[in-house]
Structure 1
């Protein structure tokens, strides 16, 4: 985004106010950016920030939908890297409303566009948010009849249960090495073959090093056994 655009300057000022706890001022600045938007591109930016300062899940959903609609109307390279986070925001909005099957659909769309997000921490944040959303809504998608979508989002109970238990133990005793090797692959797993291979490889590395207590080594073996038939 061009930092010299008036709409961008207003949104940056609004984010600063939000970070400093001045919510009313932030909302007023975001509203000012919306009122001054000159085209769909600027309206898309303003709507994204306005969605952050709504008082109800329904209004948050409405502004996130407005943001997506405006991006669709722009339809060029300026908004290409917006889409992963736009879909994540809609997924989160539907999740907040308890509409988990709809939320899962948007997390699926976000996963399809994950590669369009900027590299670095922003891209990592998007990937982690997408993976979390897919995991949290996979059961609802399966219940709703969308078993294929659920399969993509879920890591699988056979892997999930022992891995989550291991994370809890490693956090408790501060095993940063084990967490550092495995947590990024777990948090960013979108259910693709490449992501699952990355997670299996990370688990294998910790297993092969054999620095874990015997009980944890056994849990890791359980996870690897389940991951082998993914």
Structure 2
């Protein structure tokens, strides 16, 4: 984004106010940005920030839909990286409103656009958010990986958690994600440093998942 653009400058000021805990000031600045917008791109940027400062899920959804419509009108590289966050925000608002079916549609759309983001902390964070949204749209079943994670958390085994959490909680239900999780489980098992009950649980998990990581869409990342 062009830092000299007046709308971008107003949004930057709004972000600073937001970081300082001045929510009302931030919302006023974002509203000024919306009113100052002269094209679809500027309106898209302003609507994105305004959506974060709405009092109800209905208003949050309305502003995110405005943002999506403007992004679609722009339709070029400037908005390519907006879509994962935008669809994820719409999905969260729809979940808050109880529309699980449409929420899942948007979380799936967000998952499909994550590759448009450059690698880094923001992309990692957004992937976790999208994975969480996908899990929230399907009935929760027994999950032995989560049981293992609970044991590791209780013991504060940070090394094991650092290895396992990204694969377990950031999976989007693809075959690649499922294979990644199985590989991580095998790596952790190969260290042979966990207490015997956890080591046995790892063996059982690997055995269950090994045949082909079948039904990938129903794996940890999609529940």
TM-score (norm: length of structure 2):
0.91
- For the residues of structure 2 that align with 1:5 and 1:183, how far apart are their CA atoms? 40
Residue 213, structure 1, aligned to residue 195, structure 2: yes
Q: CA deviation at 1:129?
A: 1.0
Deviations 1:113-154 (A, max 9, x none): 110122211111121111111111123xxxxxxxxxxxxxx9
What secondary structure, in the 3-state scheme, does the structure 1 residue paired with 2:82 have? Answer: helix
2:161 paired residue among 161, 176, 179: 179
Q: By percentage of residues, which structure has more helix?
A: 1
- For the residues of structure 1 that align with 2:78 and 2:49, how far apart are their CA atoms? 17
Kindly report the root-mean-square deviation, in angstroms, between the aligned alpha carbons of the 2 structures: 1.4
Aligned to 2:68: 68
Deviations 1:78-119 (A, max 9, x none): 111111111101111101111111111100111111101222
Aligned to 2:31: 31
- For the residues of structure 2 that align with 1:45 and 1:51, how far apart are their CA atoms? 10
What secondary structure, in the 3-state scheme, does the structure 1 residue paired with 2:102 have? Answer: helix
On the 8 A contact 1:162/1:220 being kept in 2, the answer is no
1:223 paired residue among 190, 194, 205: 205
On the 8 A contact 1:92/1:133 being kept in 2, the answer is yes
Higher relative contact order structure (alpha carbons within 8 Å, sequence separation ≥ 6) = 2
Q: CA deviation at 1:226?
A: 2.8
On the 8 A contact 1:131/1:189 being kept in 2, the answer is yes
Aligned to 1:162: 144
After TM superposition, the structure 1 = structure 2 runs for residues 1-230 of structure 1, keeping only pairs within 5 Å, are 1-139=1-139, 157=141, 161-228=143-210, 229-230=213-214
Structure 1: runs of 5 or more not aligned: 140-153
Q: CA deviation at 1:14?
A: 0.8
- For the residues of structure 1 that align with 2:68 and 2:13, how far apart are their CA atoms? 23
Structure 2: runs of 5 or more not aligned: 215-223
TM-score (norm: length of structure 1):
0.88
* Aligned length, in residue pairs: 212
